Amino acid sequence: MEEGLWFHAPNKPVHLMNPIVLAYIGDAVFEMMVRQYLISRSNHKLHHLHRQATQFVSAKAQRILLEKWQPILTEEEADIVRRGRNAKSGTSPKNADPADYQQATALECLIGYLYYGKQVSRLRELMAIAFDE
């Protein structure tokens, strides 16, 4: 059986995980997917890749993307987004509007939830919207 990138499973079911923990892994998964997308395109100069990546991974960009996804989220996904948005991370954003940061955390929580839930086709569907494909 193909295991993908799930070398270490979480120690509890995904629906019981802390939303901040889901956002933690979701941040990494989202960035990896953005980087894979950018590398699939033609311009591979490092400074261009970095500049393009920031257009997707900033708190503001993630807030805008979540707004784009909102109408197509399932009830379960919308609940995960609410949990992520309402979670207290214990840190304040350094270079982002607090409201944008809260929404970005919600998006990352959803990504983490889908990732650990092994909902690859749904992740691809949402990321295709992110990349306007």
Catalytic residues: 27
Report the C-alpha gap between 114 and 43 in whole angstroms.
Answer: 29
Encoding tokens for residue 44? 């591979």
Q: How many CB atoms lie within 10 A of CB 23?
A: 24
| Cα–Cα distance, 75 to 96 (Å, whole number) | 28
Q: Which residue has the tokens 């992110």?
A: 130
| Euclidean distance between CA atoms 66 and 85, whole angstroms | 11
